[in-house]
Each structure stands twice: as structure tokens, then as C-alpha cells.
Amino acid sequence: MTEPVAVRFQDTDIAALSSAEGRIALILPPDGSLGPDARRLDRLTRGAVARAVGSKAWGRLKPGESLEIGWPAGLAAEALQLVPLKRRAPVPEARRAGGAIGRKLHEKGTVVVAGTHAGVADIVLGLRLRAYDFADHRTGSRDVPGPVAVMSARAAAAAEAARALDAVAQGVFFTRDLVNEPANVLTTREFARRLEGLAQLGIEVEVLDEKALGDLGMRTLLAVGQGSDSPSLVVVMRWQGGAAGEAPLALVGKGVCFDTGGISIKPAAGMEDMTMDMGGAGVVAGVMKALALRGAKANVVGLVGLVENMPDGRAQRPGDVVRSMKGDTVEVINTDAEGRLVLADVMWYAQERFAPRAMIDLATLTGAIVIALGHENAGVFSSDDALAGALLRAAAAEGEGAWRMPLGEGYDRLLKSRIADMKNVGGRPGGAVTAAQFLKRFVRDGLPWCHIDIAGVTALTEATALAPKGATGWGVMTLDRLVRDMLEG
């Protein structure tokens, strides 16, 4: 488990900065005005701070960017980083400012001078998220960031607020670690084993094996994994932090630990990225960990379907017909449209067993959503305006991009099968929509439901303000916020 960088909070002591090694980051208002702390630091650096904030370069900085003074006079630090941020900036901006600091932490330590800024906890969360480094499979020495000291005029209050967000950071890190793991390490068994470890936090964890899944009738899920030596599994995680007997929120995640496409095999180029096809299950796992760590006063059940989609003599074929747990039959036109087959059974099981108040599924489901929305937004499909609105508001508050997409009966005709109740694909037009429309058939009437297609936001080839290249952990912060707003508000 990759751990967030250690952070300690202390009262502001500008005099001590002269001997601080490593790096110093100073939070300043975008207009460049210098408060008492900044003026004292400016004197230590013989006017360097004032000259920097009076430059054209300072005026061109965007949120999440900073200006750096190397080997500043009067300081032992190797760099003084000046970070513009409004005193009462929105949460996403405060976190991006923290991210600007987090990507440049020094092995000898970093001091953040936050003064009276109101968003210290969010600055720290952004710093921690951006400092994430998945190094489990790299050998040799590497620079490990030293401890971070945050100087604040209200150090005790800032520390308390940051502790409340530490659970979120750990949830995001858990998701990122899972998504970044190679498929030969994160097999379905290993994934389930790591989720069983959440029991130490008070989460009830149950693993359903292939026999149990067969007895339940989860044949669309089992069909996806029948060509793999790794067993298909469903893991159920229950957090009972709310009132006894209160219906839970159900979170369902697609957990395809590796996706070759099956018999409808994918092109070789880029197939190595399919280790991230369990991203939906990774997000559900991260959310459950965050809820448990912060002792959420809510009932939430997380269910993940863990399979591997491989082509061998036992693999399902295009043209096969399989029967879901619900009882509907599906003609498999393309074995690379496997995630919806996994979700269909797990979603139905979640409703049968837990009678949830609402259900949200997450999946790296379609390339079509990437074409539609790129890598800035996840696609949100919903049968319920209130739930969709709450989800979109939570995503906006946390700075995670999400955009609502359409559903409609007109798309159903594209899923008609000649020999079964439906096909598993509807062709290229509206591919993300027909995938969601397929899933909607496994949602009971009247149940508030959202499907989130996270194919474009789960793992990126470029670093973002809050994450290095690779897994982003998108969705953990949004869903944690949704639980707070919807179930704990």
C-alpha cells in the first residue's frame, strides 16, 4: 500500500525558515500583496519575494501553477516556491495549489507557509494526492520525499481538518494502487484477498466463488471468465455505519483484471493498458476504505465482479447465448463488450439481496465515452434526475469532471437480437449510450440508478494537477462526498 506523505502542522515561525533545508512553499494571494509572514520572508530573501510577485511571470500564472526562486539568498533551502491562491478559494483550486507543491517535494523535507489561509486542509490533500508515487515494481534507489511541515496561524484547527480528509487520501491511494498493479500480480484471487483486508477496518467482507455464482445463476458474469485460469469471483463489502435496518446505497464495480477482448481479441498495440479495466471495482474499493476510515454514518454496500477475459478453448464465442441471473438471455455479438455482462449479474444480485435505496455502478465500459468526452469527464447516465443531480454536484464540489449523457427507448432497437432477448452490443453509433441502455434493463423500475462510464478518466498517459501519470483514483472523492451529502447531511 502506497502511503500518503507524512505531514505535521506547527505554528508559523518565519525565523526558523532561514535554516530549513529542502524546499519552502509560500501561499500568496494572486494580486501579489504581501502579508506579515510574506514580508518577513521577503526581508530574509533580500527582496526576492517582492520582485518575483511584481514580475510579468507571476501575473501569467494559472490556478495550480507556481513561480520558483532557486537557491534564494538568505535561506538554506534549495528553492522557494511561490503559490498563488485566493484566501477563500474554491476547494478544487485549493487542492490544485497543493498539487503544485506536492509534485516538487524534496527528500530533505518541505515547509509550506500557509499563514491565515482558510483552505489549509484542502491544500494538504492536494499535496498528498499529487505526491503519490507507485514504486512497488521499480528497483534501485529513488528520491523519497522527506516530511512536510505546514506552518499555519491556526495549526491545531488545520491539523484536525486535515485528519478528516486523510481517509479520502488513503481511499484514493488504495484505488490507484489497485489500478496500477499489473495483471500478473493483481489476479482475481489477489484482488479479493486485498479486499478481505478491509475487514480490519470494520467492513464485512464476503467472497462468492464460482460455485456460489453458478448456484445464483450469474451466467453472464461466469461466461466472461470461463476462458481464464483465474477464477471469477464476486466480493461483497458492507459498511454498516447508519441506522439499523436502513436500506443501503449500493455501489457496483466492474473488475475485469485483464481484458484481452476474448475471442474478439483487441489489437496488440495498447493492450498492456487493459490492466486498468478493473477501475470501477478499484473505485468501489477505495470508497469503502474511505468510508470506514472516517467512520461514515451511513449504510453502504460495495459489490465488485472480478473476472479475467481471456481467449482459450473454453472461452465464450461470438454468437453464444447466455442467460443472466435476472433470467434474460443475451446474444454475445462481441466478447470484448464483456463489462456489461459482468455488471448485469452483479447489479441484479445487489437488488435481490440488499434492496438498496439507490444504486450506482462504475465501469471502464466503452471507448465510445472517450471519443465523446475525452479525458476530462466521466459519462453519467441515470434513470433518476435527483440522484444524477446530487452526483454531478458532488463531482463539481470535488473538482472531478462528470457530464450527464442521454438514455432513451429509441436506443433499445439497436440491442434487438434475432435469437435472444437482447444483444450485448448495438453497433458503433452511440456506443456508450447503448451500453448504458443495456445495463438499464437490469435495474428494477423505480430504483434510483446511475451508471458512470469512467473509461476516459481512470488512467491517463499524462500527469494531472492531482496525480502523476497512470491511475487517477477518479470517483473516490466524488462518491465519498455524495455519501456525506445524501446519507449523512
> Mutual orientation of helices 188-196 and 279-293 as an angle, nearest 10°?
10
Q: Which of these is catalytic: 340, 423, 440, 441?
A: 340
Distance set, CA 192 to CA 88, 235, 290, 464 (Å):
42, 7, 18, 29
Asked if residues 474 and 454 have their Cβ atoms less than 8 Å apart, the reply is yes
CB contact set of 33 (below 8 Å; sequence gap of 6+)? none
Closest CA to 281 of 246, 301, 305: 305
Q: What is the predicted pLDDT for the residue at 168?
A: 98
Cα Dmax for the chain: 81
DSSP 312: S
> Which domains occur in the chain, in start order?
7-164 (3.40.220.10), 186-487 (3.40.630.10)
Distance set, CA 133 to CA 103, 105, 301, 461 (Å):
10, 12, 29, 15
Closest CA to 318 of 424, 413, 219: 424
**Residue-wise DSSP of 421-457:** SEES---STTHHHHHHHHHHTTS-TT--EEEEE-TTT
Closest CA to 373 of 417, 332, 406: 406
Asked if residues 454 and 279 have their Cβ atoms less than 8 Å apart, the reply is yes
Asked if residues 232 and 307 have their Cβ atoms less than 8 Å apart, the reply is yes
Q: How far apart are CA 68 and CA 390, in angstroms?
A: 39
Q: What is the predicted pLDDT for the residue at 143?
A: 81
pLDDT in tens, the chain (489 residues): 899 999 999 999 998 999 999 999 999 999 999 999 999 999 999 999 999 999 999 999 998 899 999 999 999 999 999 999 998 899 999 999 999 999 999 999 999 999 999 999 999 999 999 999 999 999 987 889 999 999 999 999 999 999 989 999 999 999 999 999 999 999 999 999 999 999 999 999 999 999 999 999 999 999 999 999 999 999 999 999 999 999 999 999 999 999 999 999 999 999 999 999 999 999 999 999 999 999 999 999 999 999 999 999 999 999 999 999 999 999 999 999 999 999 999 999 999 999 999 999 999 999 999 999 999 999 999 999 999 999 999 999 999 999 999 999 999 999 999 999 999 999 999 999 999 999 999 999 999 999 999 999 999 999 999 999 999 999 999 999 999 999 997
Q: What is the predicted pLDDT for the residue at 489?
A: 74
Collapsed DSSP state (helix, strand, coil) of residue 112: strand
Q: How far apart are CA 425 and CA 335, in angstroms?
A: 10
CB contact set of 252 (below 8 Å; sequence gap of 6+)? 280, 284, 302, 303, 304, 305, 343, 346, 347, 350, 359, 360, 361, 362
For the question of residue 56 being annotated catalytic, the response is no
Distance set, CA 364 to CA 185, 244, 338, 388, 459 (Å):
20, 33, 11, 19, 10
Closest CA to 323 of 230, 417, 431, 234: 417
Collapsed DSSP state (helix, strand, coil) of residue 471: strand
**Residue in the structure block whose three cell numbers are 453458478:** 214
Asked if residues 234 and 306 have their Cβ atoms less than 8 Å apart, the reply is yes
Closest CA to 98 of 489, 478, 466, 483: 466
DSSP 469: S
Does pTM top 0.75 for this prediction? Answer: yes
Closest CA to 247 of 386, 383, 131, 359: 359
Q: How far apart are CA 186 and CA 179, in angstroms?
A: 9
Task: Provide the Cα torsion 365, 368, 374, 379; round to 10°.
Answer: -50
Collapsed DSSP state (helix, strand, coil) of residue 68: strand
For the question of residue 266 being annotated catalytic, the response is yes
Q: Which of these is catalytic: 266, 323, 357, 484?
A: 266
CB contact set of 371 (below 8 Å; sequence gap of 6+)? none
**Residue in the structure block whose three cell numbers are 458503433:** 428
CB contact set of 111 (below 8 Å; sequence gap of 6+)? 17, 20, 22, 23, 24, 25, 77, 148, 149, 150, 151
CB contact set of 203 (below 8 Å; sequence gap of 6+)? 237, 238, 239, 288, 289, 292
